[in-house]
Amino acid sequence: MRNFVMVSPNFWVGQTGRDLARAGTAAQLTALYLLSNPQANYTGLYRLPLIYIANDLNMSQDAVRAALVAIEKTGFAKYHERSEYVWIVESARHQLGELKANDNKVKYVNKEFAAIGKNCPFIAEYFAKYGASMHLKPHKDMPQAAQTAAKSGAVAQAAAVEFASTEVIEQGAAVEQLVPAALVVVATTREAARVKFYDSLSTFVHKRDVNGFETYSGNETVRRLVTFAEDVGHEEAINVIQLALEAHDYDVIDFDMYAREVIDI
């Protein structure tokens, strides 16, 4: 656990800060919590169960999910609920800066990076962004080809390799130039569908609240929709949400029927 955290004034007045302000108070508060909660570290990539956020901020889990969706749209952070990992994208740069190879912090950063669970979907993307500036060693759960390439100096290209059970999202013009065009198209298309899904999910959660549905029920409903999106596809999950909204089925009681209809389409 860190004893302190640096919060730049730009958190409030910078472009991302203004975007967070436009996203609403819940998004601002949740973003500040991501920076300063007891689970956080200087690398900005760590495990944070959603229920911790809800309990500490006295928010419903649905409200936290909506806030995290809004935060991700600003580019401030990404959250993967199934693995419970969060990545504050620029945190390592702000908290640690660019490290020299003999800096004592290099050992700390590598220890934190090596401890990340293999189910975290941000490992390769994080390595692509910070591998050079933080002198990171390849993560053991990156594919062998990526590890070999990294050791030979091709840090950004190695990190762009997609490994099993993870979702690698292309980031930044420098990385984009090194990634094969087909992979960039696939990653961009996947990310667009994912963003569209969470937009639809946010709308669905809002309509549940407006119609007075209980939060505990909504938690299970949202979890089921997210699981379906990840297992079957984001576009298919969007269609399930649309069918449920058309039927005013805010607990998605007929989930299986909608799923069959969507998959048959």
pLDDT tens per residue, range 155-210: 444 444 444 334 444 444 444 454 455 544 555 666 677 778 877 887 787 787 77
What does the pLDDT average to over 244-256? 90
Spell out the domain ranges in the chain: 10-91, 100-179, 187-264
First-to-last alpha carbon distance for the chain, in angstroms, is 50
pLDDT of residue 147 exceeding 80, the answer is: no
Q: What are phi and psi of 38, to 5 degrees?
A: -65, -20
User: If phi over 0 gives left and psi between -120 and 50 gives alpha, with beta otherwise, what is residue 99?
Assistant: beta
pLDDT number for residue 171: 46
pLDDT of residue 41 exceeding 50, the answer is: yes
Tokens of 155: 């840090």
Tokens of 107: 């050992």
pLDDT number for residue 161: 40
pLDDT number for residue 265: 53
Report percent pLDDT > 90 for the chain: 38
What does the pLDDT average to over 79-90? 94
User: Which residue in the block uniquely carries the two structure tokens 């709308």?
Assistant: 203
pLDDT number for residue 77: 96
What does the pLDDT average to over 202-226? 73
pLDDT number for residue 20: 92
pLDDT of residue 101 exceeding 80, the answer is: yes
- The answer for residues whose C-beta is within 8 angstroms of residue 113's C-beta and 6 or more apart is 43, 45, 126, 127, 134, 136, 137, 139
Quote the mean pLDDT of the chain: 80
Q: Is the pTM of this model over 0.75?
A: no
**Cα separation, 91 vs 110, whole angstroms:** 15
Q: What are phi and psi of 246, to 5 degrees?
A: -65, -30
Tokens of 259: 């799923």
Strand, helix or coil for residue 88: strand
User: If phi over 0 gives left and psi between -120 and 50 gives alpha, with beta otherwise, what is residue 44?
Assistant: left
What does the pLDDT average to over 204-226? 72
Fold entry, domain 10-91? Arc Repressor Mutant, subunit A (1.10.10)
pLDDT number for residue 72: 93
- What's the pLDDT tens digit per position in 106-135? 999 999 999 999 899 999 899 989 988 999
Question: Between these two residues, 219 and 157, which has the higher pLDDT value?
Answer: 219
pLDDT number for residue 198: 76
Residue-by-residue DSSP string for 168-236: ----SHHHHHHS-HHHHHHHHHHHHHHHHHHHHHHHHHHHHHHTT--HHHHHHHHHHHHHHHHHT-HHH
Question: Between these two residues, 50 and 165, which has the higher pLDDT value?
Answer: 50
pLDDT number for residue 214: 62
pLDDT of residue 23 exceeding 80, the answer is: yes
pLDDT band at residue 150 using 50, 70 and 90 as cut-offs: low
Compute how many other C-beta atoms are within 10 angstroms of the C-beta atom of residue 186.
15
Amino acid making up residue 45 = L
pLDDT number for residue 230: 80
